[in-house]
Amino acid sequence: MSPHVIAGAEIGPEVVHRVVGAVVAAAHGPRGAPLLETVHETVYAETQRLADEPPGPRTASDQAFIAQLKRALPRAGEHELERRVREIVAHYADEISGRFDRRVYAVATRMLPGALGRLLGGGAVEERLLLEGELEALRSAVAHGTVALVPTHVSNLDSLIMGWAIFRLGLPPFAYAAGLNLFENPLLSFFMNHLGAYTVDRKKHDPLYLATLKEYATTLLARGQHGLWFPGGTRSRSGDVEKGLKLGLLGTLPAALARSLEAGRSTGMYVVPCTLTYPLVLEASSLVADFLRREGGPHYVELDDEFARPRRWAAFFEGLRALDLRVHVRFGAPMDIVGNPVDASGRSLDPRGRPIDVRGYLSVRGHLTPDAARDAEYTREVAERVAHAYHQGTVALPTSVLAWAVFERARRDRPQADLFRLLRGIGPQTAFERAALCHDVERLIARLKVLASEGAVQLAPELVAGSAAAVIERGLKTFATYHVTPVLEPAGHRIAVGDPNLLYYYRNRLSGLPLEEATA
């Protein structure tokens, strides 16, 4: 298959045409916002946003764009307003659109494995990044239709890892919806742009931006372009596996399928969840600090995280190499736009395995019929199933199991404390008998084995084969490698908590699983 991502220039005019058409039609309808109101909303939202943006060339050009809009509005008639709406939408479409370049893709995919391999501690990337799960089903979904690959979001490394995974599996390139912040680094930006990434600015909330972004994603999918995005929106702050997913881009799937069917394409539209599990997380300290700050107090402070600090990168990869640690990239089973499983030939199946025609979900009396409320409900359902698949694909590791056991011990000592009081109360003096923890870890592993046999979670090889004592040892070694303060430290026959916030962060990877009883 030739590597090709549909570039912004190819679909830009269609996107602008469709968005402007819909906005103008709505303005003339009984319930739609008048054009002037729509443009005002953009000007207002953008003015608010830009007031908080740090100075830079992008901010300056956005400010100039809004300023000339403001000047033009008082004199604008209906035609002029329509022209302005077109101008705004074209401006957004241009910002969103990717600039895929075949040559850059070819060079980058040749370089990526080597570069990633060196980063990950030398040697083959395959040894560090384990591609697991429904790989054949993913390949078959790609062959039979258009795939939306939706991974959990743990670290900024996820983008690189997913890029490598797609290449390694021999899949065609995916259009990747990436946060605008990733484009601020000139080198990353160059590759992102040319590898088929398009930008998502989470700070823009005005209806024209959201409509343009959605239309861009819909048009790509409808034309058969595979897509990749993180429905969690941002990296998980608390370390939890995401539960509440953002519905925006997932919500483009029903319309994209309908458009593709209308155009006479008989291919399917599939969602493939993917769970990333890291034994250590590069940005864990900043992420959990941010989470606690947000939940504990009213003020949100912008991150300056480890991702921006090369020395932390080096320490992180050094840790992975020294301990022979592995990142698990686990693909879930493909599902259709309402969450049904699909078979090897891409057909949707009902819960009893009978092939069904997915077209029916979008039809009334046999005809494809648009219905935004219906599609929104399908999207909620599919998001729920994706979140469920994330949990099923999560790999329980020595770090998360040990963190869980220690955290529960700490909770038991302070049963009345809420999370913040509990974390404040844990200090260097907080230590637990290794023997007692060994007992807890043993019970946890037994419980996790039952859950794994039910398909609720995956187990790392260390948990399947090793003793509880070995799991604790492995966890301690891993925790001692990378973080400035070790999460946990051996102290004679006891184990002491070094960093309570990180303890909470790593423990959270297993939250959502019914494990409380095992450590009661």
Partner 1 sequence: MSTRVTVLGAGNWGTTLAALAGSNGHPTCVWTRSAEQAAELNGQRTNRAARLSLTVPDAVRATTDLDGALAGAELVIVALPSQAFREVMARASRSLEPEQLLVHGTKGLELGTHARMSEIVRAETAVRQLGVVAGPNLAGEIAAGLPAATVAASPFPRVVETVKGVLSSSRLRVFAARDVLGVELCGALKNVVAIAAGMADEMHIGENAKALLVTRGMLELTRLAFALGAEPETMSGLAGIGDLMVTCASPRSRNHRVGAALARGQPLDVALAELGMVAEGVWASRSARALAGRHGVELPLFEHIDRVLHEGLRPREALDALMQLEPGRDVPRLKSPKAWALPGRRPTA
Summarize as ranges the residues that interact with partner 1 (CB under 8 A).
238, 295, 338, 340, 348, 350-352, 354, 356-361, 363-366, 371, 373-374, 377-378, 380-381, 411, 415, 419, 511, 516
Give the shortest CB-234-to-partner 1 separation in angstroms.
14
What is the token pair recorded at 145?
A: 């239709």
Placement of tokens 């030398």 in the chain = 122
* Sheet strands (E) in 319-450: 327-331, 348-349, 355-356, 363-364, 367-368, 395-396, 431-433
- Select 223 or 243, whichever has its Cβ closest to partner 1: 243
- Select 116 or 502, whichever has its Cβ closest to partner 1: 502
Classify residue 350 as exposed, middle or buried by CB count within 10 Å of its CB (0-12, 13-18, 19+). Answer: exposed
- Select 83 or 374, whichever has its Cβ closest to partner 1: 374
Q: Distance between CA atoms of 370 and 21, rounded to whole angstroms? A: 16
Give the shortest CB-329-to-partner 1 separation in angstroms.
27
What is the token pair recorded at 273?
A: 């969840």
Give the shortest CB-143-to-partner 1 separation in angstroms.
23
- Select 308 or 368, whichever has its Cβ closest to partner 1: 368
- Select 120 or 510, whichever has its Cβ closest to partner 1: 510
What is the token pair recorded at 157?
A: 């490394």
Residue 13, number of CB atoms within 10 A of its CB: 11
* Sheet strands (E) in 173-332: 175-179, 197-200, 227-228, 268-277, 327-331
Q: Distance between CA atoms of 275 and 393, rounded to whole angstroms? A: 5
Give the shortest CB-381-to-partner 1 separation in angstroms.
7
Q: What is the DSSP letter of 134?
A: S
Give the shortest CB-115-to-partner 1 separation in angstroms.
37
Give the shortest CB-498-to-partner 1 separation in angstroms.
21
Classify residue 71 as exposed, middle or buried by CB count within 10 Å of its CB (0-12, 13-18, 19+). Answer: exposed
Pair 82, 25: CB distance under 8 Å = no
54 contacts: CB under 8 Å, gap ≥ 6: none
Give the shortest CB-295-to-partner 1 separation in angstroms.
5
- Select 316 or 361, whichever has its Cβ closest to partner 1: 361
Placement of tokens 């320490």 in the chain = 315
What is the token pair recorded at 284?
A: 């864990």
- Select 46 or 336, whichever has its Cβ closest to partner 1: 336
Give the shortest CB-375-to-partner 1 separation in angstroms.
10
> Distance of alpha carbon 267 from its chain centroid, rounded?
25
Rg (the chain; Cα; Å) = 25
- Select 209 or 378, whichever has its Cβ closest to partner 1: 378
Residue 92, number of CB atoms within 10 A of its CB: 26
Q: Distance between CA atoms of 387 and 393, rounded to whole angstroms? A: 10
Give the shortest CB-347-to-partner 1 separation in angstroms.
12
- Select 139 or 447, whichever has its Cβ closest to partner 1: 447
Report the candidate in 64, 104, 69 with the shortest Cα–Cα distance to residue 83.
69
- Select 183 or 361, whichever has its Cβ closest to partner 1: 361
Report the candidate in 284, 408, 389 with the shortest Cα–Cα distance to residue 332.
389
Percentage helix, strand, coil for the chain under 3-state DSSP, each rounded to 5: 55, 10, 30
- Select 78 or 516, whichever has its Cβ closest to partner 1: 516
Pair 46, 263: CB distance under 8 Å = no
Give the shortest CB-499-to-partner 1 separation in angstroms.
17
Report the candidate in 479, 495, 486 with the shortest Cα–Cα distance to residue 432.
495
Q: Distance between CA atoms of 238 and 145, rounded to whole angstroms? A: 35
What is the token pair recorded at 510?
A: 């297993």
Give the shortest CB-185-to-partner 1 separation in angstroms.
30
Give the shortest CB-3-to-partner 1 separation in angstroms.
35
- Select 176 or 361, whichever has its Cβ closest to partner 1: 361
